[in-house]
Amino acid sequence: MKVLIVSTPFIPVPPRTYGGLERVVYDLATALHGLGVKVTVACPTESTLPAGAEHLDIGPTSYQLQQDWVRAEGKAYELYKHRLADFDLIHDHTWYAFPYLAKRENSALKIIHTHHGHGPWRTPPPVLHPNLVAISQYMAAVDSSTLGVTFRVVYNGVALEEYKFNPTRGERLLYVGRMAKFKQPHLAIDIARQAGIPVDILGGDSFVDDLDYVARVKDACDGLQAHYIGEVSQDVKMRYLKNSRAVLVPSRMGEPFGLVAVEALATGRPVICLDDGALREIVTPSVGFVCANPDEMTRVLKEGLDLKVIPENCRQRAEEFSREKMAEQYCRLYEDILQDKEW
């Protein structure tokens, strides 16, 4: 099977720092190759693909949030559209799904699209079988209701072998995520301060739309009780994860999945989160706490309930979200599409 995975033009594969979608693309390409699939990835020049995967270059990375995303994806499409007919199946991960333009001209093209979040679509792709996939049951319900078409579900997966399990808890809490209002890192600082536990604030602070908010988060950190770290490499992020006490996820955006929750669990760390979007599909009672409000998150910490979570349970839960399982589930969908069992 020859599969083209189309990534975004905004962040390289894998991302150097921030970039959840693009990391999923890298892990999927790696796991598909391990299953014997011939993989090509359409992604930016700066990308470094796994051994055995072909790189279809779509030009230099356009790493800025404030830009015309439609134009950027359209420009990238012009660089790979001539190759679409070379593949048995095209797996699109972009935000605006330009490959469906080619399917309107050539109905024989087999395309599947993974919807990674709350996107700009108001209508489904104008083709008979769009073969749409959501990354959680929550997003499948939201997207199906909005677009009026069926969505299959495949959870994101991570490279578990890269996340070193640590049975020994650290002393500091950790926030990992984009420095954006809807991710609410300021709330992680407040919760940690009220609980009397120090916290590290880590995550993307350049691919953002409000630099003033980033400045406010930095100002709220005193360097001791709350230590601002900002944007770091994957290796550094994993080191902080495995050495933390617990990971705070105070999002209020309707989390499409919650990749950081899986990453935390993989290292043995419990997750304390708000009841937002798909997070309760990942965080079960044996590995963390899904809270109704910030006060409940604070109470969990003050009462030391997070210390009662068994690290081995966290790792075991994370194993349900391996990149191998993700690839196997996608392969089953690929086979359905190639056998004309499209949706």
The pLDDT value recorded for residue 149 is 96
pLDDT of residue 194: 98
Q: Is the pTM of this model over 0.75?
A: yes
According to the model, what pLDDT value does residue 65 have?
72
- Condensed to tens digits (0 to 9), the pLDDT of residues 119-171 reads 889 999 999 999 999 999 999 999 999 999 999 999 999 999 999 999 999 99
CATH, domain 161-320, list 3.20.20.370, 3.40.50.2000, 3.40.228.10, 3.40.630.20 = 3.40.50.2000
Centroid of chain to Cα 10: 15
Domain range list for the chain: 2-157+322-338, 161-320
Q: Please tell me the predicted confidence (pLDDT) of residue 291.
A: 98
Token digits for 306?
């997070």
Decide if 54 contacts 21 (C-beta within 8 A). no
| Residue-by-residue DSSP string for 276-330 | -TTHHHH--TTTEEEESSHHHHHHHHHTTGGGGS-HHHHHHHHGGGBHHHHHHHH
Q: CATH number of the domain at 2-157+322-338, out of 2.60.120.380, 3.30.70.2190, 3.40.50.300, 3.40.50.2000? A: 3.40.50.2000
- C-beta separation of 112 from 134 below 8 A: no
- Describe the strand order of the beta sheet including 226-230 as a list of residue ranges: 226-230, 199-202, 173-176, 247-249, 271-274, 288-291
Same fold, 2-157+322-338 and 161-320: yes
Helix (H) or strand (E) holding 77: helix 69-80
pLDDT at res. 208: 85
For residue 206, what pLDDT is reported?
83
Residues of the chain with pLDDT under 70: none
The pLDDT of residue 66 is 77
Amino acid 67: pLDDT:
83
pLDDT at 63: 76
The closest of 250, 301, 248, 303 to 275, measured between CA atoms, is 250
The Cα-based distances of 29 to 13, 24, 53, 291, 320 in angstroms read 10, 8, 7, 35, 19
